[in-house]
Amino acid sequence: MLLPSVPAGCGAGGIAVATVSIIIPTYNEAPGIGALLAHLRQATADEPDLEIIVVDGGSTDDTRGLARRAGAAVVRSPRKGRAAQLNYGASQASGDILYFLHADSYPPPGFLADLRRARRQGYGSGCYRLAFDHGHWFLGFSAWCTRLPLLLVRFGDQSLFVQRELFAQICGFREDLILMEDQEIVQRLQAHGPFQIMPRAVITSARKYLDNGVYRLQAAFTLLAGLYWLGVSQPRLVGLYRRLVRQDKL
């Protein structure tokens, strides 16, 4: 299903320019939120009124204060959890395009043009490929796999854009999912129309891999994904995640 463009202001030549809302869920992201927001402001310097919404899940550090000082709109989600926070951020957003971004992922320069181009081409949703900020060969291989048109290699770290109308139509993220909410929503988005894997990459932090061991963490993620698709319940998956993954924020 192709979505009609919704005029939202005009650029050169009277061409409608879609507005974008960037929605970032946070929980104790004080070490990195300032740098991310500075990157976003630099990458979108020609759009000083761009809407950036930080949706906090109850941080006990200075995440909210740092985000406000960096110029973001900061809201406190009624519920902690990535799906709940993203849905709440979307409910506060005004953009034609909702762009969901993790707090440790950096989109490439010119990403707003990419999102608007995808909209003009009729894509209801999509994501970038992935790259890590570390040169480990296995991380490079894992990142290369994200160019493949396979649901199993769709991760929230790749960021996600969704046309506002489509997000409302599918009722957003499933808030009962603490894990795998990213693959679940992509599966529904793909069922509703064209999904674009854009040819450039979001650069994400390898910190969790380095803290846990690259192969160990990838094995844990593979196990958790497999159990999810086999129908294992969320409480059991979350319990296993907490036993396997160090420094988690669930």
Q: 122: alpha, beta or left, given left = phi > 0 and alpha = psi -120 to 50?
A: left
pTM: 0.92
User: Judging by DSSP bridges, how do beta strands 97-100 and 160-163 pair with one another?
Assistant: antiparallel
Give start and end residues of each alpha helix (H) in the chain: 30-43, 63-69, 82-92, 111-120, 137-145, 164-169, 181-191, 207-212, 214-229, 234-244
Query: Which tokens belong to 245?
Result: 């993954």
For residue 98 the two structure tokens come to 């909702």
Which tokens in the block code for residue 41?
């402001």
- pLDDT exceeds cutoff 70 at 28: yes
Rounded to whole angstroms, how far apart are CA atoms 161 and 124? 8
Q: How far apart are CA 239 and CA 243, in angstroms?
A: 6
What is the per-residue pLDDT across 227-238, written as a single tens digit (0 to 9) for each?
999 999 999 999
Contacts of 170 (CB under 8 A, 6+ apart): 185, 188, 189, 192
pLDDT value of position 50: 93
Model confidence over 117-160: pLDDT tens digits?
Answer: 999 999 999 999 999 999 999 999 999 999 999 999 999 999 99
Question: Which pLDDT tens digit goes with each residue over 170-216?
Answer: 999 999 999 999 999 999 999 999 999 999 999 999 999 999 999 99
- HSE at residue 96, side-chain half, CA atoms within 13 A, is 19
Distance CA 108, CA 140 (A): 17
pLDDT at 248: 65
